[in-house]
Chain A
Amino acid sequence: MDEILRIEHLVKTFGTNEVLKDIDFTVSKGDVISIIGASGSGKSTLLRCINMLEDATGGRILYHGKDILAGEVDEDRYRTKVGMVFQSFNLFNNFSVLDNCIVGQTHVLKRKKDEAEAKAMEYLSKVGMSQYIKAKPRQLSGGQKQRVAIARALAMDPEVLLFDEPTSALDPEMVGEVLDVMKSLAEGGMTMLVVTHEMAFARDVSNRVIYMADGRIEEEGSPREIFYSPKSPRTKDFLSRFTSNK
């Protein structure tokens, strides 16, 4: 197995609040890992630590065996390899859809303008947004924004994509279009780490599911194991509450 990321004993505290406690797991090439858990269990913080938007307090994050927390990999270069899709899209408001997908390529990866443009168009077509290249983010619906954000991340040719509740800010009728894009990415072999409340996605699309509770990984396994025969009573409780609420 081609290991891309290995998280070892990851700890994160905000002041005295220990939000992540001794997190261990690995991400291998082609993995689609769903992270589920109650609000406040530390899912976002985990993704943000992996992407270095937050500084982990302790532990190691190995990228192809190199510890990024110890500065063994250039931080900005590492970020181009580990893309992130946010709940709130975070498209650049001052750029058009096309330029959103180009600016990182030309300024960070130093690609030529026409190469970057071709690449941007390729991924915008993939997410079904190639007609909207001239629009500004404020002229798009939430689902459209999120699809552009996915194209922007893909245009950097990342090895792993992190998704932090990519559909939570969307109106219900737009959730499907984004999940469809993510599903086709997964089928195309993209390595993904997805924090989600979409249990059907976690169950049907991912190959592994991580259930987090109180800053720990309470249980980890295949979707079958987690959804149909959870070992931990807390997992069982969470899933039953979740399905009865929905």
Chain B
Amino acid sequence: MTIAEMNFFQRMIYIIQDYGGSLLKGAATTMVIAIVCTLLGCVIGFAVGLVQTIEPHKKDGIIRRGILRVVKFILTAYVEVFRGTPMMLQAAFIYYGTSQLFGINLGMWSAAIIIVSINTGAYMAETVRGGILSVDPGQKEGARAIGMSQPQTMLLVVLPQALRNIMPQIGNNLIINIKDTCVLSIIGTVELFFTFRSISGALYMYFEAATVTMIIYFVLTFVCSRLLRWAESKMDGPSNFDLATTDTLAFTSGLTRYDSKKGGTH
């Protein structure tokens, strides 16, 4: 049977048989870039978002205040520029710019990871800033009132709660990154979309190749969003807690099940 004689499904099977390996490799590349870059983007976002929420200390001198203002200005510029321009152009700008201006040839992988990470970081910075501001100020006061230092307060009390608050947006960013790595095809990264273009170009089966690739993208994003939901509920801990039956220091012994949903706390 020639390709011309095949129907839609037969063509899809043909693509999977002949290019399944490439598609899987492309999908793996996409996932690695998306996951690594979302994590790095979170690190950047937390660092930037944290600095942007620092209020100058009352005893800080003019120099420290000045430095803080300059740093904040630079970070704001970073956030605005990377949120305000297409990632595809950022990729071209950084990839070709570093080679032309500095003679540095970023490898395909490092270029891809740098670009997507700093792009994600720009979005995450705003998210983290919002996440920090959304934590009840009373939490900070509770921590300060028992003598925690400013960094301890952030690290132990505020940031864990901010992280929990922004988990849905982190998940959202991961999903966006899975899809948006396709713009990296402009610098030749062989990810899933690049693979799609190669296949469809070689076989002239645009519709079928697109369908197969879309299904793969959808499976990837759907599985990720379910996993993230699960991670969120894990972070919340159980809705029940164990009520210690003994009133002594032997609190590891005798535990009874206690269901707070049944309103037993009142």
Question: In the complex, what residues of B have CB within 8 A of residue A139's CB?
Answer: 239, 241, 260, 265
Interchain CB contact under 8 A, A104 and B242: no
Interchain CB contact under 8 A, A55 and B146: no
Q: How far is the CA of A26 from the CA of B136 in the complex (A)?
A: 33
Question: In the complex, what residues of A have CB within 8 A of residue B241's CB?
Answer: 96, 132, 134-136, 139
Interface residues in A101-158 (C-beta closer than 8 Å to B)? 103-104, 107-109, 118, 121-122, 125, 130-136, 139-141, 144, 149, 152-153, 156
Residue from A79, A86, A133, A140 in contact with B147 in the complex, judged by beta carbons closer than 8 Å: A79
Interface size class of A (residues with CB under 8 A): 35 or more
Interchain CB contact under 8 A, A108 and B147: yes
Question: In the complex, what residues of A have CB within 8 A of residue B138's CB?
Answer: 86, 88-90
Question: In the complex, what residues of B have CB within 8 A of residue A88's CB?
Answer: 138
In this assembly, does B47 line the interface, its C-beta being within 8 Å of a C-beta of chain A? no
Interface residues in B134-159 (C-beta closer than 8 Å to A)? 136, 138-139, 141-149, 152, 156-157
In this assembly, does A80 line the interface, its C-beta being within 8 Å of a C-beta of chain B? yes
In this assembly, does A76 line the interface, its C-beta being within 8 Å of a C-beta of chain B? yes
Q: How far is the CA of A231 from the CA of B149 in the complex (A)?
A: 44
In this assembly, does B164 line the interface, its C-beta being within 8 Å of a C-beta of chain A? yes
Q: How far is the CA of A121 from the CA of B156 in the complex (A)?
A: 21
In this assembly, does B244 line the interface, its C-beta being within 8 Å of a C-beta of chain A? yes
Interface size class of B (residues with CB under 8 A): 35 or more
In the assembled complex, the CB of B157 is this many whole angstroms from the nearest CB of chain A, namely: 5
Interface residues in A36-71 (C-beta closer than 8 Å to B)? 51, 53, 55, 71
Q: Given known contacts A91-B142, A94-B157, A121-B251, is B152 in contact with A108 (CB within 8 Å)?
A: yes
In this assembly, does B249 line the interface, its C-beta being within 8 Å of a C-beta of chain A? yes
Q: How far is the CA of A227 from the CA of B145 in the complex (A)?
A: 32
Question: In the complex, what residues of A have CB within 8 A of residue B156's CB?
Answer: 92, 103, 107
Question: In the complex, what residues of A have CB within 8 A of residue B260's CB?
Answer: 135, 139
Interchain CB contact under 8 A, A53 and B148: no
Question: In the complex, what residues of A have CB within 8 A of residue B160's CB?
Answer: 94
In this assembly, does B243 line the interface, its C-beta being within 8 Å of a C-beta of chain A? yes
In this assembly, does A243 line the interface, its C-beta being within 8 Å of a C-beta of chain B? no
Interchain CB contact under 8 A, B245 and A131: yes
In this assembly, does B55 line the interface, its C-beta being within 8 Å of a C-beta of chain A? no
In this assembly, does B5 line the interface, its C-beta being within 8 Å of a C-beta of chain A? no
Interchain CB contact under 8 A, A86 and B249: no
Q: Write the residues of chain A forming the contact surface with B, with a CB cutoff of 8 angstroms.
A: 51, 53, 55, 71, 76-80, 83-84, 86, 88-94, 96, 103-104, 107-109, 118, 121-122, 125, 130-136, 139-141, 144, 149, 152-153, 156
9 contacts between A and B (CB under 8 A): A76-B147, A86-B142, A94-B157, A109-B147, A121-B249, A133-B251, A134-B242, A139-B265, A144-B265
